[in-house]
Amino acid sequence: MGESTIGLPVRDEPPRSRARSPLRRIGQVDEIGVLGALVILIVLLALLVPDTFLTAQNFINVSRQASYVGIMAVGMVFVIAMGDIDLSVGSIWMLSSVMMAIALRDGYSIWITVAVCMVVATLCGLLNGALSVALGIPTIIVTLGTLSLYRGLGLVVTNATPVSGYNLDTWFFEWIGGRDPVFGVWISVWVMLVVGIIGWIQFNRTAFGRRVQAIGSNRQAALFSGIRISRTRIAVMTLMGFIVGIAAVVALAFNRNGSPTVGVGTELGVIAATIIGGTALSGGSGSVLGAILGALIIALIQNGLALLAVPPAWSTAVTGIVIIVAVTLDYLIKRRS
């Protein structure tokens, strides 16, 4: 039996590790629960609309619809696990997308236009984090303002009209946004899986991920332990912007025009997917895999409503109901634990 640098036996587990183990167990249960909910939903829709739901093309379309929200939900796991919420993701998606479309229209190369999209989205995330830290106000308040700011800027630069008029016969639109899935799976879904894998490693296997969860679990204790909270918060919000930029690139490749209406209300779906997936709204824990499964659940609900000929307006209402249920369950689970 050895001793640590502070003179304590190595075999004695720090209180922090013991305190965190129930959260890890809760996260695992949440993933099982969301996976079970996904299976139940699939079975239910298969019974209600078997002819239209149980088709390969429908599943391909559902996976594509879920991919954009799923990509952004990976970043939202970090934000919410840290104890913050980003309401501006839909507006960042719109602004970065239309800026990329404008660069394409002006004749710049694909690589430059992709860089424009990523830089704009990343800077938006950086600004969110910097304003929150500098002004000393919650991120949810800052992003409530930047939600309108970024969307307003997008409307100004596009004159509130879709941006088009560029060459669609390029490898970018044919491959990234091609209408034929690769091995039966859309490119955007492959991107979601790659982002999910990298996000899972970053969240669960790195010091950065542990710092994020420590801040969300107890910000004061994290400060006393030497974690640079302001720097980490800015880094997380910047990462959120970067990930939104990835979603914007693949979405523009499929949609083939920079629409100033894209992303409206997307923040609700992203937050709902993250919470449904087991990320604690109170902070301190999260699940990247669960967030992606949550995005699939939301896409399946919307798909099921469409197949059942439910008016599209109900889709937004159902998303709101799902958020309320998810937040309520999150609160009850954490209260019992």
Q: pLDDT tens digits for 5-64? A: 344 444 444 444 334 433 343 334 457 878 888 898 899 999 999 888 988 889 988 999
In a domain, 195, yes or no: yes
Asked whether the beta carbons of 256 and 121 are under 8 A apart, the reply is no
What SS3 state is found at 185?
Answer: strand
pLDDT band at 141 (very low <50, low <70, confident <90, very high): very high
Q: Indicate whether 240 belongs to any domain.
A: yes
Q: Please give the structure tokens belonging to residue 83.
A: 């104890």
For 276-296, what is each residue's pLDDT tens digit?
888 988 888 899 999 999 999
Rg for the chain (alpha carbons), in Å? Answer: 21
Domain count, the chain: 1
Examine the pLDDT at 121 and tell me if it is beyond 60. Answer: yes
In a domain, 92, yes or no: yes
CA atoms within 13 A on the CB side of 321: 8
Residue 104 inside a domain? The answer is: yes
Which CATH number covers residue 142? 1.10.3470
Quick: pLDDT tens for 151-201: 999 999 999 999 988 888 888 888 888 766 677 788 999 999 999 999 999
- Residue 9 is assigned to a structural domain of this protein: no
Q: Which domain holds residue 260?
A: 23-42+56-336
What pTM did the predictor assign? 0.86
16 located within any domain: no
Distance of CA 234 to the CA centre of its chain: 17
The string of pLDDT tens digits covering residues 83-96 is: 999 999 999 999 99
Residue 48 within any structural domain of the chain: no
Structural domain contains residue 49:
no
DSSP-derived letter for residue 283 is: S
